[in-house]
Amino acid sequence: MSSPSTQFATSRRMGIYEPPHQVSMWGDCLKALNGPNIDPSMIVEVDNKLDSNKSDDTSQGIVGSSKKYDQEANKPVEKVLRRLAQNREAARKSRLRKKAYVQQLETSRLKLTQLEQDLERARQQGVYVGGGLDTSHLGFSGTVNSGIATFEMEYGHWVEEQNRQIRELRSALQANITDIELRILVDGVMNHYFDLFRMKATAAKADVFYLMSGMWKTSAERFFQWIGGFRPSELLKVLTPQLDPLSEQQVLDVYSLQQSSQQAEDALSQGMNKLQETVADTLAADLLGSGNYMSQMAAAIGKLEALVSFVNQADHLRQQTLQQMSRILTTRQAARGLLALGDYFQRLRALSSLWAARPREPA
């Protein structure tokens, strides 16, 4: 059996590291071993003591490192949990707003139904109704178009929600929040636009002429209107300078998207022109005939039903352009683009108000 001194020398040659306090204890042991009386139990006791100290040091190091790691790891987890709690609270408030909104719509529907019944009774009695009635919601029969009235109410709430989202998006960009949090806001704004397209599809079935006339928009917005909404290629021209810096690939992708949008717009515009010519030819048939033109009216109405499809295709193009733009851009660029888009529409509405309130010279 080798002596402790031999073991110590061997460990030094093998590169085994011993902490300083353990080396000191080895030194005390060696001094004791030089004495005349050596008890083997002393060696065993010293070895056990050293092994115990070594395991304590190791366990303390592991526990300390583990605690430090857990503290570091808990930081992002706590932030995510806090964000999830905020999202749940926002979702709860959104559900409450939607519930109140649905109740308001139901109340408005009942009022509209009552108004329709009153107008029908007045028509049957031959009573002239005018003056105080808002004729923008009236169809050819003289009754209230409840589908359009509902759309106008929904669109008013849509604009209010858009303004709120734009304020939130601007604050988020200024606060420099994480891309994950920013993506949640971007997706919310995108889905809000998609909700508008769904609302318009329902309104087009109720009265496509009203929707295409743009009477639900402000005067400045109507000035730039194309088939019931904005023209995607023109909007890309407005937004692209606000997104700099773009990479070379992004510039190419945006340009390609603008060209494809322009081609789709041209195709829809040509289809609209063709439809107008067809309806005009139908109405002009046999103008000097017997005066009974109901057959021409029926044929024209059948052709005009294609207008609903044109509006839906135009909105589909608008939706596809927004989605493609979101894929081309980074999350932060997409947020800036949606913020610029919202600001652009807000400025158009403000321009309409200023135009209506402008001073006029006396006649």
Total domains in the fold of the chain:
2
- Domain match, 115 and 165 both: no
- Domain match, 153 and 281 both: yes
**What is the CB-side half-sphere exposure of residue 67 using CA atoms within 13 A?**
5
Which tokens hold the place of 195?
A: 């909700």
- Domain match, 119 and 152 both: no
The answer as to whether 266 is a domain residue is yes
Q: How far apart are CA 25 and CA 30, in angstroms?
A: 9
Phi and psi for 163 in degrees, rounded to 5? -60, -40
- Domain match, 100 and 236 both: no
- Structural domain ending residue among the three candidates 97, 131, 165: 131
- The whole domain housing 110 covers 80-131
Q: In angstroms, how far is CA 301 from the centroid of its own chain?
A: 38
pLDDT tens string for the chain (363 positions)?
455 455 444 444 444 444 444 444 444 444 444 444 444 444 444 444 444 444 444 444 444 555 554 555 555 777 788 888 888 888 888 788 777 777 777 776 676 666 666 555 555 544 333 333 334 444 433 445 788 999 999 999 999 999 999 999 999 999 989 999 999 999 999 999 999 999 999 999 999 999 999 999 999 999 999 999 999 999 999 899 999 899 999 999 999 999 999 999 999 999 999 999 999 998 888 777 666 778 888 888 888 989 999 999 999 999 999 999 999 999 999 999 999 999 999 999 999 999 999 888 776
pTM above 0.85, yes or no: no
- Domain match, 155 and 297 both: yes
The answer as to whether 303 is a domain residue is yes
Q: How far apart are CA 152 and CA 200, in angstroms?
A: 10
Which tokens hold the place of 177?
A: 């929040």
- Domain match, 99 and 214 both: no
